[in-house]
Structures are given as structure tokens and as C-alpha cells.
């Protein structure tokens, strides 16, 4: 007999050889019909895998992320079979599940596919799925695997790097594929599929290797869910920050300036400035001091910090000078510079904590194929700060940073988020620097702070920075997509590498602990996500123009300017549209520019000294006094922008 422990802590006893699906059926037949994947003792298993030892079992349905991963991984197999049947001679490579759907990289040889071919692939996939073919895992020897793929150099390369005795295949219908496992019970669960796009992709991400065709798809257990997802994609296209950024005249790119290097237009620069001033005001109240560091640093600086060893390949090439053996790098991060600022003075425990903040622009060489609008760039500005504190101060300082992050999110409308405690991968210690005991203290400090603040958090192994664990905030936007925004890291290692010290109450020399934090992360990425989350309808306090004055004709220009002056005296950002256009056209264009309030001025408004107010979206507030309008604006802002 074996004992199976379920997530609620209950323990069930079964004969050895029981499967996860058998366990599900013992709970409820209805529940079992929805189970599509399982994890036993932390390892993903098939729902028909025999369990022979005591252990912890988690059963997943479509509602679980792990269930979706199994569903989309299995769908990738069905896609591969469809491609193999439709395109004889095509060479399959790899096809994983991704955050939304799956893809398969294929060498189609001389054949090229486009969106005209999508329907045929979808039809073939659904035809295969309706066969309700079981997914079945089996082991194979290395020799057997190499023989099966003797005409596929891509699969052969994968197999050559595997140990004999660890190779497995997954079979369904007439199709077999090299696979480690993690499938739904059968193809019949797949009810709806959509091929989304095709793109070029180098084999194993190496631009020196053959280029393949990456076929992206998504699948669902119900047609209704696919329809909803496609509607969401259409909404996402409307909210694409690259489209909105152009329409709202916020930023642009230039091939002559260089890929991944955004140019901020006047409205975008003003938006950035408001975001910076917003955070600077909160930081000042929290005791931060602003610093400024250069855009370059000597290579040795980043060698000392350990960043060069870890990220040197992703940096721009060193800049040489006329002096022999002197090399500089475009600054890839701000923290080493802040360590050097700390070292300019001798500190006592009475001086700590020291909180240095900077909106520092950094540069990293992203591959051209990975660049994407403002979300993936080569030059970006971080709202960086580093806190140097004593061990006794760590808990309070970390919690204060959590409060700052929550204030930022609340003021910008990001209300749906979870926290992720990112810790080391115990199986890959070489990925990290520093003493294990310090790592353990840092990880526990983050977990304690997150618990004490009542955060809804999960612990993710292997997601820590190379120098320390961190608390990442995962935000869900208006379209239900998850983004990592805001991070707080505890670091014992850089103070050690830079030999940072303070004199303690015992008159002895000690190492400070360093907290890295960036509530925005980077201004570029933050603005991109904010654009897509709000659809360009920013919180009123952040809008470039809060009100536009639309005069019905030129004869009301003088009164329009008077209204403008009164609004500006009340710190309301407004402008006047004096163009000789119809009021209808002015309103339509104002809607496209997403101006929150339109103030219409004609004969009656001028005579009574009032304005007719229309909100973005069409709501008519009628004719009111300017003082009433000022109150509306200030009340609206106060609802969102709370004091820190």
C-alpha cells in the first residue's frame, strides 16, 4: 500500500500502481472528468502514470496554469502531426507550450507557408483531435532514437546530447515524437484550435544555425473560449502601445539613430517627467537622496560587481580609449556606481540607512529579433534606488519599499497583482555568487516581509538574480495578461565585492546589506504596459492634456484664452483648439486624442461666463461654471492620486 497526500493535507491509501486519474476518480467522477494533468512529488507526470511510492499529488484542470501547459504541450504534438501529414518531408524540431498557446519550429525545406495555409492546418488538427487518441509515453534506447530520426539532423542533435536510458517518446494516433512528458489524457479534449502566426526562428536561437519556420497556435477545450480569446486579441491590437504611442505622439524610433533606441517626443517627454516627479516626491518623503552617475564606466567596475562575467556577452562591446588597455562599457546597470558613491564616506551605524535613488539610463545589447517597441529596447531608464542598511534595519526598510510599490500601483490603476518571491535554483548553484548562509538569510527576510504585509505571494525557484533573491510584483492588466512590474532585491554580495563597510555600535567594522528596488522597473516598459492597460486613457493626473477648449468659431477666441488662463492658474493642463473647423470634427479628433474633458465655448457660454463640459466617451456634464469644473478635476485626481 502507498500513501498519497493531497494539497488539502488529506492522505489517501491505495495499492501500489494506482494512477493519478484513479486518485481523481476516488475523489469524484465529476472532478476526474476535468483532470488533465498531474504532478507527483514535484515532477510532472501523466494522468496514467503508475505511482509506486508514498508522495504528494497535485491534480490539475484547465483552470490551472499547469493544466493549460499540459493542454498546449499536447496540442503542439497534434500540430506537429498535422504538419507532417500535410507537408511530407518537413522536418520537425521542437514544440513547447508557451504562456498563451504553443509553437512548433519546422524546417519546411523549399516550401513556405502563410496565413492562407492556416485553415487547412486547423482543419487537420481538429480532425486528428476528434479521434480521441490517447497520449502514451514509452522509453527508447539512444540507438533506437537515432535510427528513427536518421533523416532529421535537428532531432539527431538533440538525441546526441541525451544520456542512454533517459530518452522517451510520446505516441498518439500514428504519430510519435521525442518528448519528456506532461500530456492531457487524449486528443479529444482539444475542441478548438487557431493558428495565430508564422515567424522565422534560428535553430536553438543561434543566428549561425539554419533558419526555421515557427508556427504559433492556441487551443481550448471549448469553442466559446477560443472566440473570447480572439476578441481579446483584437482588443489587444487596438491597445498596442506602438500604435497608441504613434497616435498620441508620445515616442518614435529612427533607423538612423538605431534599433531599440526610442526617441521621446514632447508629449512623451512630458509624460515621463510627470512619472519621474511623482516618484521623486514619494521618495523624498521616504528619505531617499537623488544621485546622478555617468552613462559609461570602466570595464573593471563591472568585473568587480560580477555583472561582466554574467552579462558581458549581452552588453555593447567595450569602448577603447587612446590609453593602452583602458576599456569602458556603456552602463548596463546602476548598482555598481551606487556602491562607489557609498564608498566615498566612512559611515557609522547611526548614519544608516542610506538611500540613493537615480533615474539612470542603461544600455544592453538585445538581439534585433527580440526588440519590441518600448517593452524590449537597447537603452532604457530605470527608477533605480539602493538602500544600504544594517541587519536590524533590513525588515523595516524592505517593508517600506513594499509600501512604495503598492502606492505606485494604486495611483496608476494596477489593482490586480500577485507577488513572487524569486529564490535560487538549488540544482544550479553555479548560477549564483556569494555565501549560502547569506542567501538563506536574504530569502527568509523577503518571505517574512511579504507575509507580514499580507501579500498574496508564491515562491519560484530559479528566478533570483545572480547576486540575491528578490520580490517581484506580477501585475494582471485589463486584458488579463501578466507582466512583471516592480522588483525589490536583498543583496549581501555586492557589499562584499566592493568592500563596503560601516562602524557598528560595538566600534567594529561591519558589512551593510544592500536593497535594490525599482517600482517602475524601466520607464520605457512601464509606459508601454500603462498604455496597453489603460488604452491610452491614463489616470487624469498623468494625462498630457487634461482638458481641451473647443471654440465654436473664431469670435470666441478671447473668452477661450481667458478660460485657459483660469485653468492654468489652477494647475490644470489645457489647450485651445482655435482651428476653423466644425465643432463636430473638433470633438471627433479630441476623442481620438483621448482628451479627458472637452470644454465647448459658444455664444451662451461667453455671455454667462461658463463652459459646456463633455467627457471623453460622450458623457455630457452640461453647462457649469469654471470653478465647478476645477472642483471636478481636483476631486477626480484625489480619488486616484492618494498621498504617500
Q: What is the CATH number of the domain that holds 584?
A: 3.40.50.800
243 within some domain: no
Q: What is the CATH number of the domain that holds 109?
A: 3.30.980.10
**Are the C-beta atoms of residues 515 and 491 closer than 8 Å to each other?**
yes
Which of these three, 238, 272, 293, is where a domain ends?
Answer: 238
- 386 labelled as ligand-binding? yes
247 within some domain: no
606 within some domain: yes
Which of these three, 534, 552, 578, is where a domain ends?
Answer: 534
pLDDT, position 367 = 84
pLDDT category at 568 given cuts 50, 70, 90 is very high
CA–CA dist 195, 62 (Å, integer): 20
CA–CA dist 14, 27 (Å, integer): 13
CA–CA dist 51, 417 (Å, integer): 36
Q: What is the DSSP string of 92-122?
A: E----EETTEEEEEEE-TT----GGGHHHHH
246 within some domain: no
Reported as a single tens digit per residue, the pLDDT across 514-555 is: 999 999 999 999 999 999 999 999 999 999 899 999 999 888
**Are the C-beta atoms of residues 393 and 400 closer than 8 Å to each other?**
no
Highest mean pLDDT among 58-62, 465-469, 588-592: 58-62
567 within some domain: yes
CA–CA dist 404, 520 (Å, integer): 11
Do residues 95 and 79 share a domain? yes
Reported as a single tens digit per residue, the pLDDT across 363-420 is: 999 888 789 999 999 999 999 999 999 999 999 999 999 999 999 999 998 888 999 9
Do residues 138 and 217 share a domain? yes
Which of these three, 11, 42, 61, is where a domain ends?
Answer: 61
- pTM (two decimals): 0.80
- 339 labelled as ligand-binding? no
Residue among 205, 173, 196 nearest 77 (CA):
173
First to last CA, the chain: 59
Do residues 313 and 375 share a domain? yes
Compute the CA torsion angle 266, 272, 274, 276 (nearest 10 deg).
-140
pLDDT, position 640 = 81
- 338 labelled as ligand-binding? no
**Are the C-beta atoms of residues 286 and 355 closer than 8 Å to each other?**
yes
Q: Could you tell me whether strands 263-264 and 251-252 are parallel, antiparallel, or unpaired per DSSP bridges? A: antiparallel
pLDDT, position 293 = 97
How confident is the model over 109-113, as a mean pLDDT? 92
151 within some domain: yes
Do residues 175 and 262 share a domain? no
Q: What is the CATH number of the domain that holds 348?
A: 3.30.930.10
258 within some domain: yes
What are the grid coordinates assigned to 306, written together?
A: 560580477
Do residues 16 and 115 share a domain? no
**Are the C-beta atoms of residues 93 and 106 closer than 8 Å to each other?**
yes
Helix (H, G, I), strand (E, B) or coil at 559: helix
How confident is the model over 151-168, as a mean pLDDT? 94
Report which of residues 203 and 463 the model is more confident about.
203
Give the phi and the psi of residue 417 in degrees, each rounded to 5.
Answer: -150, 160
For the chain, the domain total comes to 4
pLDDT, position 639 = 84
Do residues 557 and 486 share a domain? no
CA–CA dist 91, 22 (Å, integer): 38
245 within some domain: no
**What percentage of the chain reaches a pLDDT higher than 70?**
100
pLDDT, position 320 = 87
pLDDT category at 62 given cuts 50, 70, 90 is very high
Which residues does residue 103 pair with via DSSP β-bridges, in sequence order?
Answer: 216
How far does CA 122 lie from the centroid of its chain? 29
How confident is the model over 263-282, as a mean pLDDT? 95
**Are the C-beta atoms of residues 417 and 529 closer than 8 Å to each other?**
no
Q: What is the CATH number of the domain that holds 30?
A: 3.10.20.30
Do residues 210 and 284 share a domain? no
Mean of the per-residue pLDDT values of the chain: 93
Do residues 56 and 76 share a domain? no
Do residues 158 and 207 share a domain? yes
Give the phi and the psi of residue 166 in degrees, each rounded to 5.
Answer: -115, 5
Q: Could you tell me whether strands 101-107 and 97-98 are parallel, antiparallel, or unpaired per DSSP bridges? A: antiparallel
Q: What range does the domain containing 413 cover?
A: 252-534
Name the percent of the chain in helix, strand, coil, to the closest 5.
40, 30, 35
Do residues 399 and 436 share a domain? yes
Residue among 495, 519, 504, 497 nearest 442 (CA):
495
How confident is the model over 483-489, as a mean pLDDT? 89
Do residues 20 and 155 share a domain? no
pLDDT surpassing 90 at residue 429: no
Non-local (6+) Cβ contacts of 461 within 8 A are 423, 424, 425, 426
Do residues 97 and 41 share a domain? no
Active site residues: 335, 364, 382, 384, 386, 470, 516
Amino acid at each position: 500500500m502507498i500513501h498519497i497526500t493531497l494539497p488539502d493535507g488529506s492522505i489517501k491509501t491505495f495499492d501500489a500502481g494506482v494512477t493519478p486519474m484513479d486518485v481523481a476518480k476516488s475523489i469524484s467522477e465529476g472532478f476526474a472528468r476535468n483532470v488533465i494533468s498531474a504532478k507527483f512529488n514535484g515532477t510532472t507526470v501523466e494522468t496514467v502514470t503508475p505511482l509506486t511510492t508514498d508522495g504528494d499529488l497535485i491534480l490539475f484542470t484547465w483552470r490551472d496554469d499547469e493544466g493549460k501547459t499540459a493542454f498546449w504541450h499536447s496540442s503542439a504534438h497534434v500540430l506537429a502531426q498535422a504538419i507532417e501529414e500535410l507537408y511530407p518531408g518537413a522536418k520537425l524540431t521542437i514544440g513547447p507550450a508557451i504562456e498563451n498557446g504553443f509553437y512548433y519550429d519546422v524546417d519546411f525545406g523549399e516550401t513556405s507557408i502563410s496565413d492562407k495555409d492556416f485553415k487547412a492546418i486547423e482543419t487537420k488538427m481538429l480532425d486528428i483531435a476528434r479521434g480521441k487518441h490517447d497520449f502514451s509515453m514509452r522509453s527508447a534506447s539512444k540507438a533506437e532514437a537515432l535510427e528513427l530520426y536518421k533523416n532529421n539532423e535537428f532531432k539527431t542533435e538533440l538525441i546526441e546530447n541525451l544520456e542512454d536510458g533517459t530518452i522517451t517518446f510520446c505516441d498518439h494516433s500514428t504519430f510519435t515524437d521525442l518528448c519528456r512528458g506532461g500530456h492531457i489524457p487524449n486528443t479529444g479534449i482539444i475542441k478548438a484550435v487557431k493558428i495565430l502566426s508564422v515567424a522565422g526562428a534560428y535553430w536553438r536561437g543561434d543566428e549561425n544555425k539554419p533558419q526555421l519556420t515557427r508556427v504559433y497556435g492556441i487551443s481550448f477545450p471549448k469553442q466559446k473560449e477560443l472566440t473570447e480569446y480572439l476578441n481579446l486579441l483584437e482588443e489587444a491590437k487596438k491597445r498596442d502601445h506602438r500604435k497608441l504611442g504613434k497616435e498620441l505622439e508620445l515616442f518614435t524610433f529612427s533607423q538612423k539613430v538605431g534599433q531599440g533606441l526610442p526617441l521621446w517626443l514632447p508629449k512623451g517627454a512630458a509624460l515621463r517627467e510627470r512619472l519621474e516627479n511623482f516618484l521623486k516626491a514619494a521618495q523624498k518623503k521616504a528619505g531617499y537622496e537623488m544621485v546622478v552617475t555617468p552613462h559609461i564606466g570602466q570595464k573593471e567596475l563591472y568585473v568587480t560587481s560580477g555583472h561582466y562575467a554574467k552579462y558581458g556577452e549581452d552588453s555593447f562591446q567595450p569602448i577603447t580609449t587612446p590609453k593602452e588597455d583602458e576599456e569602458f562599457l556603456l552602463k548596463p546597470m546602476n548598482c555598481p556606481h551606487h556602491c562607489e558613491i557609498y564608498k566615498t564616506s566612512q559611515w557609522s551605524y547611526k548614519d544608516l540607512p542610506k538611500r540613493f535613488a537615480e533615474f539612470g539610463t542603461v544600455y544592453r545589447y538585445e538581439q534585433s529579433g527580440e526588440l519590441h517597441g518600448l517593452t524590449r529596447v537597447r537603452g532604457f531608464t530605470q527608477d533605480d534606488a539602493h538602500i544600504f542598511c544594517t541587519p536590524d534595519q533590513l525588515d523595516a526598510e524592505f517593508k517600506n519599499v513594499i509600501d512604495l510599490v503598492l502606492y505606485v500601483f494604486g495611483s496608476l490603476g494596477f489593482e490586480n497583482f500577485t507577488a513572487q518571491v524569486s529564490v535560487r535554483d538549488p540544482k544550479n548553484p553555479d548560477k549564483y555568487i556569494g555565501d549560502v548562509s547569506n542567501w538563506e538569510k536574504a530569502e527568509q527576510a523577503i518571505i517574512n516581509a511579504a507575509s507580514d504585509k499580507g501579500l498574496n505571494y508564491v515562491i519560484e525557484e530559479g528566478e533570483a538574480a545572480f547576486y540575491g533573491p528578490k520580490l517581484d510584483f506580477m501585475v494582471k492588466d485589463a486584458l488579463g495578461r501578466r507582466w512583471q512590474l516592480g522588483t525589490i532585491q536583498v543583496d549581501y554580495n555586492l557589499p562584499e565585492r566592493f568592500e563596503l563597510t560601516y562602524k557598528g555600535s560595538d566600534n567594529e567594522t561591519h558589512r551593510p546589506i544592500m536593497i535594490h528596488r525599482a517600482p517602475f522597473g524601466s520607464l520605457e516598459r512601464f509606459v508601454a504596459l500603462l498604455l496597453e492597460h489603460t488604452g491610452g486613457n491614463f489616470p487624469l493626473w498623468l494625462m498630457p492634456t487634461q482638458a481641451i477648449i473647443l471654440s465654436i468659431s473664431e469670435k470666441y477666441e478671447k473668452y477661450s484664452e481667458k478660460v485657459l488662463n483660469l485653468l492654468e492658474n489652477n494647475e490644470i493642463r489645457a489647450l485651445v483648439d482655435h482651428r476653423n473647423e466644425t465643432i463636430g470634427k473638433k470633438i471627433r479628433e479630441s476623442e481620438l486624442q483621448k482628451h479627458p474633458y472637452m470644454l465647448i465655448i459658444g455664444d451662451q457660454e461667453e455671455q454667462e461666463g461658463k463652459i459646456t463640459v463633455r467627457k471623453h466617451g460622450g458623457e455630457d456634464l452640461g453647462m457649469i461654471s469654471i470653478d465647478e469644473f476645477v472642483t471636478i478635476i481636483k476631486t477626480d485626481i484625489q480619488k486616484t492620486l492618494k498621498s504617500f
